[in-house]
Amino acid sequence: MSIKVGDHAPDFSLVGLGESGPEVVTLSKITGEQNILILFVPMAFTGVCTQEFCDISAGLGAYSDLNCKVLGISGDNPFAQAAWAEKEGISLQLLSDYDHKATEAYGITYDQFLPEKNLIMGGVPKRSAFLIDKSGVVQYAQVNDSPGDLPDFEAIKARLGELS
């Protein structure tokens, strides 16, 4: 069962590539500073995931103005994520859930990802959005069963406006 509004966000420590190399980001260490928007996507280098993160990257200023840090999470390794970000111009912070522990903690794991296309990989995250407030409580949650459906970013921004 996925995390819902009002739940305390499960903590995680995930690796991303920063300017000086690999770095660990722990959710509980960054909550309290600002609201956090966590965006899970199925995988790097795919059409909808690339479009989502490119669009978010282009609009990061709007989230910053609403006192919100945006984190993008996929099950890809951090080096693949860095190559993807460089190729596509993705500028939001990407974190690797390579062992799928965060995906499982948030209850958003596909049992099989697109088996009709012979992509029967397990552990792939569903496209999801979780808005976490400064106290670590989920203020918005959306989990999409279809990998082609995007989160409702207008609803997320509206909720952020209420939190400001």
Query: pLDDT value at position 164?
Result: 76
Choice between 123 and 131, residue whose per-residue pLDDT is larger: 131
Cα 45 to Cα 14, 39, 90, 109, 114, distances in angstroms: 20, 16, 11, 19, 16
The answer to the question of residue 37 being in a domain is yes
**Domain ranges, residue 113:** 33-163
Q: Is the distance from CB of 51 to CB of 140 less than 8 angstroms? A: no
The answer to the question of residue 120 being in a domain is yes
The answer to the question of residue 7 being in a domain is no
The answer to the question of residue 3 being in a domain is no
What is the biggest distance separating any 2 CA atoms in the chain, rounded to whole angstroms?
Answer: 45
| DSSP codes joined into one string, 30-62 | HTTTSEEEEEE-S-TT-HHHHHHHHHHHHTHHH
The answer to the question of residue 6 being in a domain is no
Query: pLDDT value at position 64?
Result: 96
Query: pLDDT value at position 123?
Result: 79
**pLDDT digits 0-9 by tens, 72-106:** 999 999 999 999 999 999 999 999 999 999 999 99
The answer to the question of residue 8 being in a domain is no
What CATH number is attached to the domain comprising 65?
3.40.30.10
Number of domains observed in the structure of the chain: 1
Average pLDDT over residues 53-63: 96
Predicted confidence band of residue 119 (pLDDT cuts 50, 70, 90)? low
The answer to the question of residue 50 being in a domain is yes
Say whether pLDDT at 1 is over 90. Answer: no
